Structure 1
Amino acid sequence: VALLELEIPTLLREQELPDAAPATRALGAELEDSEACGRWSNAHNISFPHTESPNLAPPPVVSPIVPSAPPSAPFVGEFVFSYMVATVFMCLLLLGFWAYKLPSDRGSSIASNENSRGRTVFGEDSPHDRPAPVFVGHITGIAGAKWSDEPNYIAPMGVRVALGRTYKIKSGLLEITYHSGAKVILEGPCTYKVESVAGGFLERGKLTARIIHQGPAASAAGAKPQAVFIVHTPTAVVTDLGTEFGVEVDENGDTTSYVFEGKIVVKAGIRGFGDSGIREVQLGAGESVMVGRVRETHHNSTKTETVHFTHPTTPPKFVLVFPRLKRNYLDLADIVAGGDGFGDARDRGIDAVNGRVVLSQPRDMSVLSGLHGDTRYHAVNELPFVDGVFIPDGGEGPVQITSAGHASSDFVDTNNRTWNLIWAGQIVTEYTPKRTVSCWLGNANYAGRRHSVLTMASNKGITFDLDAIRRKFPDVRLVRFTAVAGNTEMRSANPQAPRVSADLWVFVDGSLRFNKTDINSADDGFVVDIPLAPSERFLTLATTDAGNGHSFDWTIFGDPRLKIISKINDRTSGIHETQPSHAASGKEGAPIK
């Protein structure tokens, strides 16, 4: 009954039948009022009298008894619930990023916006559709290369050489080594495009190529066979047949080819006009040919352009060996010891009396005492960079100091006597017990591993042939001679001993450039820094005894070096030099303290 009492008014109210009888609607309203009153009276324990209806007896009012239920407890704690919400949020966020990065049509959607990636031409392929670059080699050498400053040219980044890449250099050298083994040296100004895995297009400049073909043994070992190397130019096609050759293209596009070793085939033909009328010639070692343009005018006044072969009177000069300077100086001590100046050879010397090379110091040092010269200049034939040696003695008149006849009258009278050798390293005066000549000047021991020294007891001279060095290293320029020179004798430490002193001399082509006289260990060392001109040929170092005898004079040249720069870039090479001495910051001729 209670359930019916609660549901009837609601049912009548929700349905609101339009055709319901007025009595029915009145009954629903009355029942609804009775419901409200019943609930309020039950809540406040108040009874209301029922009004009587003329047609219907008032229904009994029964209040429903609804038991009060306790509030339900949450299924998780507040902290755990918050943590779960945050976790779900982060998962959704990561899912959104993933959906942004990896949709299959993202490339096309980006490409559809022409301004978003710089696309300005209708129909241009999307960057995502371009093939990956193919690398055919590496840049294995750069010497003073300056990239083109053309506004539309972008200098390459990295050392890998990609197919289709164009290299434009204003000056200097660039070496490319292909994966096939071919080495190409580009000499600026030059424009070269990598067109294949074994060749390219030389638009302008000089190119030297060396191709090493794999032999049967290499092929059997699993190496890939060497492909031919082809160089295209505006007027020719140069194909190697296992060789070393050079190609030069001038501003007009004319091509000159020269073979150093092996053979090449040169085909004449203007690039872009097909192969009609192409002629070819095969060249061997020492042969050269030039392919030039010829403009012809026909009877109907039409002009055509063809190419023809000529033999140049003077083949162009090419760089065959890429210059790789080990350091930016030549060590004269290494040269005296038999090296080329770039090494660290030591413990060899020259007998200044006769020019003979000495490979080791004798155990009996008495054989090197009291040596007497013959007033002659002696060539050192065993050392290509040493012109000769001599015993300076002003008492006999002018002393010859070069093979070209340069002489000096500046030396004192030395009685033409000396002792020991011109030695690259430290001289041993006694073996039992072992005693050596001191090589200390200032705070530096020039017999140490970070330095070098030429030990020259007084009354000796040595001349270096600078032209011979230039011929050996044509890509470098000799710019100056530097050293720290002094007398390391120890006799002056005894105030009762007679005075010991010596003189130092440096000549260039017979002209005196540096001189310090009457010096001993109290004077420490002197910085020598002498510029060298390209036309100067001879560098002479000499010591004399200051007129008081040669005993105990231990004169040395510490870190004797010829500073060099590369002719290619005309600046100091990038090889870091080991800080040799105080000469780096000292003033020429000034003592170091």
Structure 2
Amino acid sequence: MSSHRGGVKELAPQRQETQVAAAGDQSGNVPGELDSSRVKDSTGFVARILAATKDVTWSADGAPTDFLMRLEVGNRIRLATGLLKIEFSGGAEIILHAPADLQVLGPDAARLFSGNLTGRSDAGSFNLFTPAAKVIDVGTEFGVSVDADRNTGVSVFDGEVHVRPMQQEESPDSLFRLTRGMSARVDRRGFIQSGLDVDSSRLRRLLPHEASTTLGASEVSLIDIISGSGVGERRLAGSIDPATGYWGQPPWQQTKGVEPRVSHGQLVSVDWNPLLDGVFVPPAEAGPIQIDSSGRSITLGPTCGATWGSIWARRRLDHSFDPLAGVRDENEQGFWGVGTIAALMERLQWSRDGLVGIHPNVGVTVDLDEVRLQRGRSVRRMRGVIAHLEKSHESSPLYPGVRADFRIYVDGTLRFERLGFRRSDGDSQFGVNFEDGDRFLTLVTTDSDASNAFDHVILIDPILELADP
């Protein structure tokens, strides 16, 4: 028995069956129901893996290939064990439960070939395709499973979901409405059954909290600040476009991290991340540049007026889990330029927690008050190691004079600097102490030779130390 509401069928609590043609294949082709023009326009990265449980392993050809765990249209994730948290640039987040096979179709669409997932999309309009059904999230929290017989189960934890059997003619009458507490099953023959008792206990709606094995109780990693991790969350990677402050489409639209960002001489807010006050690209001409929202400025010398790629952070992962472990890009164009994947993976292997990449010319400002608010304690010190990974010796022409500058400011006052350093100068430790009332921490890298070519500056294990509780 069914009733109509605005052309959408509402599944009543009792058992209901409707037969349609069975559909779905394992080819990975984009389903016809998805707007093909939108998929075509969704070039580059449209999703990213935020976090994972420690027991994650990949099935053959099922691991991400991007250094920052970003996913392009068409990428397929085959998870053998563990849980993954994936965020789409359209706003949806899902938790993929192994064993599972998922393909990214666009900023707000994916296809689940097998396995279980839970998802949430406050903005709505997330489309999930399975071999038997199309599931449309219209602003809700839901769970979907595809079993070995390619039957699809749908549970709604909150909000509303619309379900349509695959290959049924698309019309308002072909959608079945599920609301909070309801469930349905679409089998491979095309029958929809509602009012089922679905065991949703196996569907994890949150990743389990796993204590850090690399950070102490009084340590906060800059990796978590750059990537926007919450308390108890350890994101794998993150990136920020210094020209826009976005984490979403820019810089995800670039399939490589080597995209120039020309200075417009302004501080840009990072609205999605309260821990960051702003980012900026210093102008080519010597002069002042605003570095925080209170209006403070610093004066820098002339630069080439551009940076290369995004500000990024990448956590060290166990060798068995890291999909890029052992990758050697040699002279090919890597994530950050020639040979950078191999160099970065080598540094990650020997780091304690991970790396932050700040290619000159760029600046990023941390709001220490927001860190105190999030962590419940004052920040007393920052420490880490700075290094130059210039790889021009593997390219042609050779750039033997590549140099960079690194400075740390607190509320506009210079607290640390390392000027004109090269790869051959080796690594250097840095440290800055904070006083009560300090508000903004600004990190700036600039070129020392009017060119930012091969200026691959990284921070190794950058840590903020909190006051004792």
For Structure 1 versus Structure 2, the TM-score category normalised by the shorter chain is 0.3 to 0.5
TM-score calculated relative to the size of structure 1: 0.37
The structure with more helix, counted as a fraction of residues = 1
In proportion to residue count, which structure has more strand? 2
TM-score, normalised to structure 2's length?
0.46
Q: Which has the higher contact order (CA 8 A, sep 6+)?
A: 2
- The structure with more radius of gyration: 1
